[in-house]
């Protein structure tokens, strides 16, 4: 083996080692991002697995010394790709109800959750992604900006507008429930 081949082999081993370490260190955050974006419409584990597989196939193209933003961006892109595919309907058996609720309380909670999910699904992708990462993942504006490949100002605007649109979409539902409760 020539000196050049030895250096290339050593570099490939180092790249693979850095890649594996990066995936291991960031896997929980990547799963949380995928879950925040795809929710119950797809398996977050599958999203992360596909994103990591795509990166692994092209791992030699990237610098793995600071991989956080690259990993988050790749998972975000894969999750958004999944969301663009035709939606499948949810089977009730996949989401069992909790045993400690009354039937009426459970129905009201399930209806509320379904209304909020439907409203979130109607948001534009960038509003939905920013809002979910902020509200459900408790990410800072800077982290969201890095994950979505946007500026902090854009992220703030998207979250503000997303909240306003959700408020408008859910207003009739909330007012209807308030009238029903007053009776």
Give the tens place of pLDDT for each residue, 15-43: 888 888 888 888 888 888 888 888 766 78
116's tokens: 């909020």
Structural domain contains residue 133: yes
Domain that holds residue 40: 3-84
129 Cβ neighbours under 8 A, 6+ residues apart = 36, 37, 76, 80, 148, 158
Last residue of a domain, one of 20, 50, 84: 84
Question: Is the domain of 122 the same as that of 176?
Answer: yes
In whole angstroms, give the CA distance from residue 55 to residue 57: 5
Structural domain contains residue 90: no
133-178 pLDDT per residue, tens: 888 777 889 888 888 888 999 999 999 999 999 888 888 777 766 6
Structural domain contains residue 95: no
Q: How many domains does the chain fold into?
A: 2
What CATH number has the domain bearing residue 145? Answer: 1.10.10.10
Question: Is the domain of 8 the same as that of 63?
Answer: yes
Among 3-7, 33-37, 50-54, 103-107, name the most confident range: 50-54
Question: Is the domain of 21 the same as that of 53?
Answer: yes
Structural domain contains residue 94: no
Whole-prediction pTM: 0.48
154 Cβ neighbours under 8 A, 6+ residues apart = 145
Structural domain contains residue 97: no
- Quickly count: other Cβ atoms within 10 Å of residue 68's Cβ: 15
Question: Is the domain of 110 the same as that of 49?
Answer: no
In this prediction, what percent of the chain has a pLDDT beyond 90?
8
Question: Is the domain of 30 the same as that of 65?
Answer: yes
Question: Is the domain of 19 the same as that of 77?
Answer: yes
Question: Is the domain of 22 the same as that of 77?
Answer: yes
How many angstroms separate the Cα of 95 from the Cα of each of 40, 78, 91, 92, 114?
A: 9, 24, 7, 5, 12
């Amino acid at each position: 083996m020539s000196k050049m081949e030895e250096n290339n082999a050593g570099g490939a081993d180092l790249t693979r080692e850095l890649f594996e370490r990066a995936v291991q260190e960031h896997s929980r955050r990547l799963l949380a991002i995928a879950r925040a974006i795809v929710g119950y419409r797809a398996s977050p584990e599958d999203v992360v697995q596909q994103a990591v597989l795509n990166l692994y196939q092209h791992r030699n193209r990237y610098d793995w010394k600071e991989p956080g933003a690259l990993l988050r961006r790749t998972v975000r892109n894969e999750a958004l790709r999944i969301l663009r595919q035709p939606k499948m309907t949810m089977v009730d058996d996949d989401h069992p109800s909790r045993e400690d609720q009354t039937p009426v309380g459970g129905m009201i909670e399930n209806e509320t959750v379904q209304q909020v999910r439907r409203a979130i699904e109607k948001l534009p992708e960038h509003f939905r992604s920013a809002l979910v990462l902020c509200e459900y993942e408790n990410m800072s504006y800077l982290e969201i900006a890095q994950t979505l490949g946007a500026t902090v100002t854009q992220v703030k605007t998207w979250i503000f507008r997303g909240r306003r649109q959700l408020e408008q979409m859910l207003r009739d539902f909330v007012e209807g429930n308030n009238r029903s409760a007053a009776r």
